[in-house]
Chains A and B, each alone.
Chain A
Amino acid sequence: MTAPKREDLQSLGERLDAAEKRNQVPRPSPAASTMGIAFRFTTELVSALLVGGGIGYGIDWAFDRWTHVHTRPWGMIAMFVLGAAAGILNVIRAANEINAEMAKKDGD
């Protein structure tokens, strides 16, 4: 067998592209799985609450341990609220990402 010629390969490539275009099956978008989206939002929100509360707990613990100021439980409360805000921010960002992805899929 002789080595394939360049032009042959090129025309093969063109024919493959054309065939691909003809037989394009709309693939299910990964983001379109509703349960996946719901799960993504839940983890974003819950983990932000956990991280916020955790940082607050750490702040209270540090103040208790190394200073005479007793902040407990205010550090935790404040950071928990900030964590809730961060969680909602995360959810909005995740929603934007998914929207952009879907718009791109619809576009082509």
Chain B
Amino acid sequence: MEQFAVKPIVPLHIGHYDVSFTNQSLWMCIVVGAVSLFMALAVRQRSVVPGRVQSMAEISYEFVATMIGTAAGEDGLVFFPFVFTLFMFVLFSNFLGLLPGAYTVTSQICVTFGLAAFVIAMVIVTGFIKHGIGFLKLFVPHAPWYILWLLVPIEFISFATRPISLSVRLFANMLAGHTLLKVFASFVILLGGAGGVLSLLSVAPFFLIVAITALELLVAALQAYVFAILTCIYLNEALHLHGHH
């Protein structure tokens, strides 16, 4: 799985810590650069009737704004810059990772967990700022007192699960998709080199790769969407403290 290997480009050590600039860091910079370039180019014209790039930017803007509005309510829109940045970052790293030879930043658990942990930290901070200690009511469902002692730990574990399920979902989807592509690509080479009838068979996995690449495009967009909408749902809970029933 050479495509997932992290290689240092500029080795750097601070104390005992390895803080080298790796291919991972390079691709994160590329992703951030690509998003910035896209948005900057898109709004350069500022035309009333948008061109192609501008309407792409406007569609993504409206898409995220509607998503926050429906999932987190109108007052959730203060988080628009954050959710939009998150969405675009994940979307672009998923898409750019599909280019041959590219490195998929989101196929590393440390990246996705970093994002997810930040989201959850923000949810907790928002909740405590907005509701004070009353935010802890999130862990107390409406139930008779004699089963609460069992339900509160369950609710707590359920909450603690979030950063993990959020990050594992994105990371595993990316990892599985890229591994699948690689496995089928190796079938093409193995069958092609086998000679005779088997060489002819190598066309089959080749067409499968084309199909899987299309599927991966869908997965890339879908996972960015899922990541963003779950962020909105969690923010909604922090903002409005909807008790579970």
Chain A residues within CB distance 8 Å of chain B: 4, 9, 30, 33, 36, 39-40, 43-44, 46-48, 50-52, 55, 79, 82-83, 85-87, 89-90, 93, 97
Taking chain B's interface residues, is the majority helix, strand, or loop, or is none over half, making it mixed?
A: helix
Q: Tell me if B169 and A43 are in contact (CB < 8 A).
A: yes
Contact of A40 among B48, B155, B226, B244 (CB under 8 A): B226
Given contacts A30-B226, A44-B161, A86-B161, contact A39 B169 (CB under 8 A): yes
Asked whether, in the complex, the Cβ of A90 is within 8 Å of the Cβ of B164, the reply is: no
Please tell me which one of the listed residues B153, B165, B172, B222 contacts residue A82 in the complex, with CB atoms under 8 A apart: B153
Candidate in B157, B160, B161, B233 with the most chain A CB atoms within 10 angstroms? B157
Q: Is the pair B244, A93 in contact by a Cβ cutoff of 8 Å?
A: yes
Contacts of B152-196 to chain A: CB distance below 8 A? 153-155, 157-158, 160-161, 164-165, 168-169, 172-173
Q: How large is the interface on B (under 10, 10 to 19, 20 to 34, 35 or more residues)?
A: 20 to 34
Q: How far is the CA of A90 from the CA of B244 in the complex (A)?
A: 11
Task: Name the A residues within 8 Å of B244 (CB-CB).
Answer: 93
What are 27 A-B residue pairs whose CB atoms fall within 8 Å in the complex?
A4-B48, A40-B169, A40-B226, A43-B165, A43-B168, A43-B169, A47-B161, A47-B168, A48-B158, A51-B161, A55-B157, A55-B160, A79-B153, A82-B150, A82-B154, A83-B157, A85-B154, A86-B154, A86-B157, A86-B158, A86-B161, A89-B154, A89-B155, A90-B158, A90-B161, A90-B165, A97-B233
The listed residue with most B CB atoms (<10 A of its CB), out of A9, A79, A90, is A90
The interface residues of chain A lying within 8 Å CB-to-CB of B225 are 30
> Which of B's residues lie within 8 Å of A, judged by CB?
48, 150, 153-155, 157-158, 160-161, 164-165, 168-169, 172-173, 218, 222, 225-226, 233, 244
Report B-chain residues with C-beta under 8 Å of the C-beta of A85.
154
In the complex, are the beta carbons of A30 and B222 less than 8 A apart? yes
Set of chain A residues within 8 Å of B218, measured between Cβ atoms: 33
By a CB distance below 8 angstroms, the chain A residues around B168 are: 43, 46-47
Interface centre among B154, B161, B168, B225 (most CB of A within 10 A): B161
Residue of B nearest to A78 (CB): B153
Give the residue name and chain of the B residue nearest to A50 (CB).
Answer: B164
Known interface pairs A30-B222, A36-B222, A90-B161; 9 further A-B residue pairs with C-beta atoms within 8 A, sorted by A's residue number: A30-B225, A39-B169, A40-B169, A43-B168, A44-B161, A48-B165, A50-B164, A86-B161, A97-B233
B229 (CB) vs chain A CBs: closest residue: A30
How far apart are A82's CB and chain B's nearest CB, in angstroms?
A: 5
Query: Please, which residues of chain B bring their CB within 8 A of the CB of A36?
Result: 222, 226
**Cβ A82 vs Cβ B157 within 8 A:** yes
